[in-house]
Amino acid sequence: MRRPILAALLSFGLGGPAQAALDDAVTALERYDYAFAYTEFLPLAERGDATAQYYLGHMYYYGLGVPADYVRAYEWMRRSAEQRDPDAETFLGDLFYAGEGVPQNYARAAYWYRRAAEQGHPYARYSLAFMQFYGEGLPEDPEEAMAVLHQLAEEGFPYAQRSLGYIHEYGEGVPRNLERALEWYRRAAEQGDVYALGSLGRIYGEGIGVARDLPQAYAWWNLAAARAGPGPNRDFAVRQRDMIAGQLSAARLAEAQAMAVAWFSGSDEAVARHSPDGRRSLARAAFRAAPRPPSELELESSGTGFVVSRANHVLTSHHVVEGCAEIRVTPAGGESARAEIVTVDPESDLALLRRPGNTTDHARFREGRGIRQGEGLVVLGFPLRGILASGVNVSTGVVSAVAGMGDDRRLIQISNPVQAGNSGGPVLDMSGNAIGVVTSKLDAMEIEAAIGDLPQNVNFATSRGAVFDFLEQSGVPIETTSSDRPMEVTEIVERARRFTVIVECWN
């Protein structure tokens, strides 16, 4: 849920060359010329300019032209926030909420959000409502939180609009209402919100509560790709768009492209004219499920995943679901169900799926301190299906290193034995809380050929920080709990088997 780079921020007490330098730095940042932006921001920030301090914190947080460093990000944001920069105050709320650069502390997060909210900052008001909705650091009050979200949405704040779409689509605290979900997604999409644009592409591509409409799905994914900045979100939107394009005739593809052009013109009537039935607008589509032919797909491969929310979101590895025509998820001892892809991050090798319905059996993540070298770990998964036992497989080990190859902080190295099929499974600490996702193992034969020695049991997992970033950007609430009470491995396994699932790729 990180804020995008703002087009411009007000600068107080600047003028002449200083203001020009700030403007040049902001322009360079927006053009991805990070080295120049940093050299311009640094002297201004050291002289006390709050806007430059905010941007330096932003650059250190995301690793833009400098090594990512949450501690330095916090230091610059704090200096800016002490001058009552509302964007910096809000970002400090984010840092305390996630425990990045500082110990996780919901009360401190709420403190900084309130300071920014007092100045009318919409994201801060939204964040307080979000915490109130789930009772995180504030008394749980979904009714009051929904009132704030509706107020923000009516004021035109796209995060609130898209969140209302999500809440109504998945029935989070309210009865599921796909018509309301579509309406709110559309209102956010009209402001270029990438998540809302992609959600509309997913809804029409899958026929979720509406007649399946591939030209409309193509149009929305095309718009999402156009609006997203460089990175995994754009890459995913492009893949979805191109996959749908392969299913359209030349005439239907031209129709889809015309719909996207009509959307850019802001004319609902023009969009409706290009819609297949010509009579409905996107906001008032008929809610009827399209019939599906019997599946002729075959099982190609499988991996592991685990449920991470009450809305039945399943976290797994991107490579487990990449290129799948259909994905099916099966809990241990349960029934298989088709799952939809919500979002992916190929660079961090993460994918978020969703099974139908809601659940109370989901993982909680470790709160507070980060993982330490030598800590004990438990990994669950479904490796080598058809060879090993059909039930969930368990392995124990330790944190071998707190970074991956090349000191990649998105990964941790683990000693737990893993095999094909373990990918996407939960990595749990000795209190049963998730701290990562199994992602890969070192290719022993390739390393032996290179160095003449056979490596033993070198495996990796996506780190908690990378997972938190991914889930936040996907709009999924992260439930955390303390890891102060160690548990027996048997107790950890008994709990974890209820949220660990098989993920199947069908083609």
378-392 pLDDT, tens digit per residue, is 999 887 665 444 578
CA distances from 60 to 34, 126, 134, 313 (A): 11, 24, 30, 30
- Ranges 14-18, 190-194, 404-408: which has the least confidence: 14-18
Residues 357 and 172: their CA atoms lie apart, in Å, by: 11
* For residue 339, pLDDT beyond 50: yes
- Ranges 9-23, 158-172, 436-450: which has the least confidence: 9-23
Mean pLDDT of the chain: 79
Quote the longest CA-to-CA distance of the chain. Answer: 72
Is this model's pTM higher than 0.75 or not? no
- Ranges 24-33, 107-116, 281-290, 429-438: which has the least confidence: 281-290
Supply the pLDDT for residue 230. Answer: 63
**CB proximity list for 429: less than 8 A, separation 6 or greater:** 366, 371, 375, 376, 377, 378, 435, 483
Residues 411 and 375: their CA atoms lie apart, in Å, by: 15
Dihedral Cα 280, 285, 291, 296, nearest 10 deg: 100
Cβ atoms of 353 and 503 closer than 8 Å:
yes
The more confidently predicted of residues 130 and 446 is: 130
3-state secondary structure of 348: helix
3-state secondary structure of 213: coil
* For residue 74, pLDDT beyond 50: yes
Q: How far is CA 335 from the centre of its chain?
A: 27
Supply the pLDDT for residue 406. Answer: 65
Nearest to 362 by CA among 482, 481, 488: 481
Residues 207 and 415: their CA atoms lie apart, in Å, by: 43
Residues 171 and 177: their CA atoms lie apart, in Å, by: 7
The more confidently predicted of residues 265 and 289 is: 265
Residues 503 and 494: their CA atoms lie apart, in Å, by: 20
**Position of tokens 């927006």?**
30
What confidence category does residue 180 fall into, taking pLDDT thresholds of 50, 70 and 90? very high
Residues 502 and 17: their CA atoms lie apart, in Å, by: 60
Sign of the torsion angle spanned by Cα atoms 42, 31, 472, 434:
negative
- Write out the H or E segment, with its range, that includes residue 444: helix 444-451
Strands 376-381, 426-428: pairing kind? antiparallel
Beta bridge partners of 108: none
Mean pLDDT over residues 435-439, rounded? 91
What confidence category does residue 296 fall into, taking pLDDT thresholds of 50, 70 and 90? low
Cβ atoms of 439 and 349 closer than 8 Å:
yes
- Write out the H or E segment, with its range, that includes residue 473: helix 464-473
Residues 278 and 285: their CA atoms lie apart, in Å, by: 11
The more confidently predicted of residues 78 and 274 is: 78
Mean pLDDT over residues 153-181, rounded? 89
